[in-house]
């Protein structure tokens, strides 16, 4: 299991003025050897005065603030060591993404669960945006929106500054069609078709359609539509009404109700529909992707156990 992410910050004391950065990290971050410090630098997990730094031999000065971001990215990378070949081996082990549509203006991708959408403080490598930008002939790619690491499904990226601005405006105005499939705990009430509850202090609205009761009422396949798009909105709303998304260890539960029903293989949430006005043509475009195999197979197992 990957270690939990955490950040260690320290101010370089007078006695450490002139040290190499990897030496300072090893001296002030508990459990971080110089070797692991160099790996952390290599993947982009270190900031000096808020700027990402990757050079182990950089000289630090008294009064500088150093931030080391530790977690799963370091654990995965440390097993391979430092250098270009090591980073390529880590990238090769990442789950595969699928390009659904690509033109001169937009790029639509089906993201797998387990892949981060964009750089994080832990690392600027091994995320979907980074992989797209480093494709042969990939060119510049702009981040428009995100999916959480454990969520799979459709994302759009921009290929030009103009497309990035246009799509950003569409998302800000909630003029984008986004629908998700999820399996939630228990029998979802058919009358509950709209949830309006603030998320992070901001208005958040989710539309709901209960698609199929599974496992004798111990789970439900649900389609969620986003009117607004707050971070973790579906997961928070589902938990708030007593039917958490299965496999959600952060907001809900990681097991089904009922010991005789198989546990979710991962977070049972998939971005199944994405539609928007194309920033160049002005036409409304739309894509739909079914549940990925690991969730689809699990849902079939739940159907087979429909009778309690």
Mean per-residue pLDDT of the chain: 91
Question: 259 pLDDT band (50/70/90 cuts)?
Answer: very low
From the list 121, 89, 110, 36, the residue with the least C-alpha distance to 292 is 110
Summarised one tens digit per residue, pLDDT across range 115-126 is 999 998 988 888
| pLDDT for 244 beyond 60 | yes
Global model pTM greater than 0.75:
yes
Q: Quote the tokens at residue 279.
A: 């920033």
Residue 127 · residue 116 · CB < 8 Å: yes
Mean pLDDT check: name the lowest of 1-10, 114-123, 200-209, 254-263.
254-263
Summarised one tens digit per residue, pLDDT across range 72-97 is 888 888 877 777 777 777 777 889 99
**269-277 and 152-158: which strand pairing?**
parallel
- Non-local (6+) Cβ contacts of 268 within 8 A are 182, 183, 184, 245, 246, 247, 248, 295, 298
**Residue 148 annotated among the catalytic residues of the structure:** yes
- The three-state (H, E, C) secondary structure of the chain, written as one string: CCCCCEEEEEECCHHHCCCEHHHHHHHHCCCCCHHHHHHHHHHCCEEECCEECCCCCCECCCCCEEEEEECHHHHHHHCCCCCHHHHHHHHHCCCCCEEEEECCCEEEEEECCCCCCCCECCECCCCHHHHHHCCCCCCCCEECCCCCCCCEEEEEEECCHHHHHHHHHHHHCCCCEEEEEEEEECCCCCCCCEEECCECCECCEEEEEEEEEEHHHCEEEEEEEECCCCCCHHHHHHHHCCCCEECCCCCCECCCCCCCCCCCCCCCEEEEEEEEECCCCCCEEEEECCCCHHHHHHHHHHHHCCCC
Mean pLDDT check: name the lowest of 43-52, 131-140, 219-228, 278-287.
131-140
Set out the domains of the chain in order of their start, with CATH numbers: 6-92 (3.10.290.10), 98-304 (3.30.2350.10)
Counting Cα atoms < 13 Å in the Cβ hemisphere of 48 gives 18
Which residue out of 16, 148, 293, 306 is catalytically annotated? 148
* Residues of the chain above pLDDT 90, percent: 77
Q: How many residues does the structure list for the chain?
A: 308
| pLDDT for 225 beyond 50 | yes
Q: Quick one: 284 exposed, middle or buried, by C-beta within 10 A (0-12, 13-18, 19+)?
A: exposed
Summarised one tens digit per residue, pLDDT across range 149-177 is 999 999 999 999 999 999 999 999 999 99
């Amino acid at each position: 299991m990957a270690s939990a992410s955490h950040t260690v910050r320290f101010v370089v004391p007078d006695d450490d003025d002139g040290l190499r950065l990897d030496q300072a990290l090893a001296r002030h971050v508990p459990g971080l050897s110089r070797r692991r410090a160099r790996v952390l630098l290599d993947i982009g997990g270190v900031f000096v005065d808020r700027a990402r730094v990757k050079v182990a031999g950089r000289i630090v000065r008294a009064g500088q603030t150093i931030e080391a971001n530790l977690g799963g990215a370091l654990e995965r990378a440390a097993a391979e060591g430092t250098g270009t070949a090591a980073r390529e081996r880590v990238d090769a082990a990442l789950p595969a993404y699928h390009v659904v549509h690509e033109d001169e203006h937009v790029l639509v991708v089906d993201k797998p669960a387990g892949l981060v959408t964009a750089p994080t403080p832990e690392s600027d490598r091994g995320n979907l945006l980074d992989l797209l930008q480093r494709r042969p002939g990939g060119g510049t790619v702009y981040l428009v929106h995100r999916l959480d690491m454990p969520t799979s499904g459709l994302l759009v990226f921009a290929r030009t500054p103009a497309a990035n601005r246009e799509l950003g405006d569409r998302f800000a105005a909630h003029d984008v069609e986004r629908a998700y499939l999820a399996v939630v705990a228990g029998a979802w009430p058919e009358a509950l078709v709209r949830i309006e509850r603030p998320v992070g202090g901001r208005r958040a609205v989710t539309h709901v359609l209960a698609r199929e009761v599974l496992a004798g009422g111990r789970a439900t396949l649900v389609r969620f539509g986003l009117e607004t798009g707050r971070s973790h909105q579906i997961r928070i709303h589902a938990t708030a009404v007593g039917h958490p998304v299965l496999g959600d260890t952060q907001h809900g539960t990681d097991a089904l109700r009922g010991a005789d029903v198989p546990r979710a293989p991962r977070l049972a949430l998939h971005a199944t529909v994405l539609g928007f006005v194309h920033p160049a043509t002005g036409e409304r475009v739309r894509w739909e992707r079914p549940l990925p195999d690991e969730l689809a197979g699990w849902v079939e197992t739940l159907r087979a156990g429909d009778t309690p």
